[in-house]
């Protein structure tokens, strides 16, 4: 049995952690003892709470409808540009914040398919997140396309070898997640995008589990479309608007299926006929969620301050610690690591497979440790570098050991 890192060793990692002081910028109480679900819903930054108060009192109460002309109308693109620069590796004018990841994916899929009008297939892996699979099927049905289902490796995810067998002259677009929501496998975004382009198809990436925790270079990697949520590692709160990136080379040609007034060239012209905005704003539909946008802005500020390279380094150290603890404490007792062993191909959560995962998750929550259960037998342990401490992760794993190997 490998030796488990001690709590003292975890404490030393915290003492040496250059991001440790940022933890105090979040509201973190004594309960739960360990929050290992920041990859589902991040913790609230203190600055966000203050900024929301300012917006409510100063802007909404103070300015009323004038808020729209002061600044609110531009927030989807202003915050989109900041997110693009800090998190997505994208130049200005290609990212908006609006709606949910699901709605943005729907728009991106229609836009991608209309850029490849002679092609008949959409490709997606059958282990993808439900909303992605459902929407690919829905858009395929609406446009008379066929869905080609790729079966990824259970832990390793989508590889170039498997994808190469699925894409070809009929492929319009391929939808992939950069980090697999179950295993945490980190896909080779650059390599797979090249492979997709080699067949003349377009790459649509879902970055929900990578935005804010894995360095991303959408422009350099020539991604076509990307979507993702902001309530996980970007800590923007429940229901905060999602992002949608469209590469500038496509923007003049894309149309999207929910052409509402906020996507029109002149929002307040009350025009008779819809004329799409020239830039990324054409991907918007209706009134922006101002409070959510402000929360995204604050989340992005914290990521900017921390720096994505340092965030990634801590994420790797946290997932290494948890992987070592799983090996030492849990694997000898009927649990199995269901995430890649190598940090180079792992995102920021570690997943444990156990036949009794549902009951174990419930007991853990009773013990003040919050992980995430994924049907049918997975316990997902999310490590959010800005807010998860090494000792917190260690304590969470010790509680898990207490249930699995009492
Ligand atoms: C990988 C992935 N894609 C899409 C979604 C759906 O996001 P939304 O609820 O914003 O539509 C989620 C939500 O957790 C997700 O994890």
Residue whose Cα lies nearest atom 14 of ligand 1: it is 40
Distance between CA atoms of residues 187 and 270, nearest Å: 45
Query: Three-class SS of residue 107?
Result: helix
What's the 174 CA to ligand 1 centre distance in angstroms?
A: 17
Is this model's pTM higher than 0.85 or not? yes
Distance between CA atoms of residues 362 and 357, nearest Å: 9
Distance between CA atoms of residues 48 and 142, nearest Å: 40
Give the position, in ligand 1's atom list, of the atom nearest the Cα of 103: 11
What's the 250 CA to ligand 1 centre distance in angstroms?
A: 24
Residue whose Cα lies nearest atom 7 of ligand 1: it is 101
Q: Is the CB of 82 under 6 A from ligand 1?
A: no
Q: What angle do CA 237, 286, 77 make, to 5 degrees?
A: 65
Q: Which of 242, 254, 319, 313 is nearest to 280 (CA)?
A: 254
Distance between CA atoms of residues 357 and 365, nearest Å: 12
Residue whose Cα lies nearest atom 15 of ligand 1: it is 208
pLDDT in tens, 132-176: 999 999 999 999 999 999 999 999 999 999 999 999 999 999 999
* Terminal Cα distance for the chain, rounded: 17
Which residues are part of the catalytic machinery? Answer: 129, 206, 231-232, 380
Q: Is the CB of 131 under 6 A from ligand 1?
A: yes
Q: Is the CB of 181 under 6 A from ligand 1?
A: yes
Q: Is the CB of 102 under 6 A from ligand 1?
A: yes
Indicate if the pLDDT at residue 374 is higher than 80. Answer: yes
Task: Quote the DSSP letter at residue 186.
Answer: B
What's the 241 CA to ligand 1 centre distance in angstroms?
A: 11
What's the 208 CA to ligand 1 centre distance in angstroms?
A: 6
pLDDT-based confidence at 406, cuts 50/70/90?
confident
Distance between CA atoms of residues 93 and 81, nearest Å: 6
DSSP codes joined into one string, 241-303: PEEEEE-TTTGGG---S---GGGBSSGGG--SS--B-SSGGGG--S---HHHHHHHHHHHHHH
pLDDT in tens, 6-45: 999 999 999 999 999 999 999 999 899 999 999 999 999 9
What's the 131 CA to ligand 1 centre distance in angstroms?
A: 7
Contacts of 134 by beta carbon, 8 Å cutoff, 6+ apart: none
Mutate to test the pocket of ligand 1, among 39, 42, 136, 208 (most ligand atoms within 8 A of CB): 208
Query: Three-class SS of residue 378?
Result: strand
By CB atoms closer than 10 A (0-12, 13-18, 19+), residue 375 is exposed
Indicate if the pLDDT at residue 66 is higher than 80. Answer: yes
């Amino acid at each position: 049995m490998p030796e488990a890192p001690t709590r003292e060793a975890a404490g030393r990692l915290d003492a040496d952690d250059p991001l440790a002081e940022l933890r105090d910028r979040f509201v973190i109480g004594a309960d739960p003892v360990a929050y290992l679900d920041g990859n589902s819903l991040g913790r609230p930054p203190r600055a966000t709470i203050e900024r929301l108060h300012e917006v409510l009192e100063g802007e909404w109460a103070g300015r009323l409808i004038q808020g729209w002309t002061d600044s609110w109308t531009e927030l989807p693109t202003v915050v989109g540009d900041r997110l693009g620069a800090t998190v997505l590796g994208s130049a200005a004018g290609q990212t908006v914040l609006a709606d949910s990841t699901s709605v943005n994916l729907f728009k991106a899929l229609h836009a991608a398919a209309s850029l490849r009008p002679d092609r008949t297939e959409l490709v997606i892996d059958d282990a993808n997140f439900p909303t992605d699979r459902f929407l690919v099927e829905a858009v395929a049905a609406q446009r008379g396309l066929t869905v080609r289902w790729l079966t990824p490796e259970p832990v390793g995810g989508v590889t170039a070898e498997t994808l190469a067998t699925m894409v070809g002259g009929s492929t319009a677009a391929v939808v992939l997640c950069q980090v697999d929501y179950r295993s945490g496998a980190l896909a080779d975004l650059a390599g797979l995008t090249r492979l997709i382009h080699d067949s003349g198809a377009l790459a649509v990436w879902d970055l929900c589990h990578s935005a804010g925790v894995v360095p991303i270079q959408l422009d350099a990697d020539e991604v076509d479309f990307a979507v993702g949520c902001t309530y996980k590692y970007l800590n923007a709160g429940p229901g905060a608007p999602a992002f949608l990136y469209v590469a500038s080379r496509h923007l003049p040609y894309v149309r999207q299926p929910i052409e509402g007034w906020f996507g029109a060239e002149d929002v307040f012209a009350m025009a008779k006929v819809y004329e799409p905005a020239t830039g990324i704003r054409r991907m918007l539909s209706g009134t922006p969620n101002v409070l959510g946008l402000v929360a995204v802005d604050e989340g992005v500020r914290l990521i900017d301050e921390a720096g994505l390279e340092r965030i990634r380094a801590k994420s790797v150290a946290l997932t290494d610690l948890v992987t070592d603890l799983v090996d030492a404490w849990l694997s000898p007792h009927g649990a199995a690591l269901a995430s890649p062993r190598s940090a180079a191909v792992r995102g920021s959560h570690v997943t444990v497979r156990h036949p009794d995962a549902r009951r174990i998750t419930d007991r853990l929550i009773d013990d003040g440790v919050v992980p995430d259960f994924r049907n049918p037998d997975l316990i997902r342990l999310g490590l959010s570098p800005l807010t998860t401490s090494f000792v917190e992760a260690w304590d969470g794993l010790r509680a898990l050991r207490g249930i699995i190997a009492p």
